[in-house]
């Protein structure tokens, strides 16, 4: 882990690291906020997964999460959204919803994507092992994310409930097998076999396997992507069948932007802090 930049922030430290990823076969950057409590001993961590076109920098600079994370004693672990660098495949037309910045938190099986696009393994295994070895973290984890990252957070938590204590999301892509963003990405990364797609669809996973974790989802009602791409009603329907502990809140007037995230991030951090302290 090489420090790229570091700033003091609310008594803690905001740090950007670079490292060589074995999962992704490239150099990766990620950001960490360590609260002031980390100077006295290990602290729990919230993993944040960002959305399409984003990097680790978007949440760090736009969400305003550090003040509350410092008060609650939470570390923030913020990976990039996809592999990057020379030789990493990208959409030949330069589309924003496939390739660089659009890893969709899956393990790609199709050429040429399978050489680098294994964000599921990276977030689940490689990155936690790295930061918990090198930083003052106590091994307790929660996970959250926005849009494509909300999809990733839900899928990782639903498939690995023993690894996290809670999960939340802002405007997640809740039913990617039935929306244009998900269908495009899954066809490219996973191929035509839709049984493979189901392993990365939060609504299908929740309906099939249930969930023992507390879940909090906020969705803006003025979100331009709500009807076509996000499909929160599918997630709610799956939770209703299973009796899962899902709190889905529709927020009037809010859109898909980081203004929406900044408005409710304190509530999400407090939600996770309660469960991380349990």
Query: Is 105 within 8 Å of 167 (Cβ atoms)?
Result: no
Which helix (H) or strand (E) is 183 found in, with range? Answer: helix 180-190
Domains and CATH numbers, the chain: 2-277 (3.40.50.1820)
256 labelled catalytic: yes
The whole-number pLDDT of residue 241 equals 87
| Residue of 217, 221, 213 whose CA lies nearest to 264 | 217
pLDDT at residue 213, as a whole number: 95
The active-site residue, picked from 147, 168, 174, 203, is: 147
- Of 116, 146, 256, 268, which one is the catalytic site residue? 256
Over residues 224-237, the mean pLDDT reads 97
Please give the pLDDT value at position 243. Answer: 83
* 8 Å CB contact between 58 and 109: no
pLDDT tens-digit series, residues 167-210: 999 999 999 999 999 999 999 999 999 999 999 999 999 999 99
Catalytic residue among 80, 201, 218, 223: 223
Q: What is the pLDDT of residues 48-72, one digit of tens each?
A: 999 999 999 999 999 999 999 999 9
Instruction: Kindly report the length of the chain.
Output: 278
pLDDT at 242: 75
Pairing outcome for strands 43-49 and 75-79: parallel
- pLDDT, tens digit (0-9, with 9 covering 90-100), for 70-126: 999 999 999 999 999 999 999 999 999 999 999 999 999 999 999 999 999 999 999
Catalytic residue status for 147: yes
């Amino acid at each position: 882990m090489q420090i790229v930049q570091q700033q003091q922030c609310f008594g803690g430290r905001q740090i950007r690291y670079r490292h060589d990823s074995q999962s992704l076969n490239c150099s990766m950057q990620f950001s960490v906020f360590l609260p002031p409590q980390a100077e006295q001993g290990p602290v729990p961590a919230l993993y944040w997964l960002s959305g399409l076109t984003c990097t680790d920098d978007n949440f760090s600079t736009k969400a305003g999460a550090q003040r509350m994370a410092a008060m609650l004693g939470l570390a923030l672990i913020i990976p990039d959204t996809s592999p990057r660098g020379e030789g990493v495949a990208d959409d030949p037309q330069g589309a924003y919803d496939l390739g660089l910045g659009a890893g969709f938190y899956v393990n790609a099986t199709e050429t040429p994507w399978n050489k680098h696009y294994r964000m599921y393994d990276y977030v689940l295994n490689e990155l936690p092992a790295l930061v918990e070895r090198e930083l003052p973290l106590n091994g307790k984890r929660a996970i959250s994310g926005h849009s494509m990252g909300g999809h990733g957070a839900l899928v990782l938590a639903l498939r690995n409930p023993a690894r996290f204590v809670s999960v939340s999301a802002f405007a997640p892509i809740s039913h990617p097998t039935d929306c244009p963003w998900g269908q495009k990405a899954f066809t490219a990364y996973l191929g035509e076999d839709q049984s493979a797609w189901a392993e990365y669809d939060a609504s299908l996973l929740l309906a099939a396997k249930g969930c023992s974790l507390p879940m909090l989802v906020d969705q803006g009602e003025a979100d331009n992507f709500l009807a076509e791409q996000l499909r929160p009603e599918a997630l709610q329907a799956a939770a209703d069948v299973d009796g899962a502990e899902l709190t889905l809140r529709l927020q009037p007037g809010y859109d898909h932007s980081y203004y929406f995230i900044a408005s409710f991030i304190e509530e999400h951090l407090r939600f996770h802090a309660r469960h991380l302290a349990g």
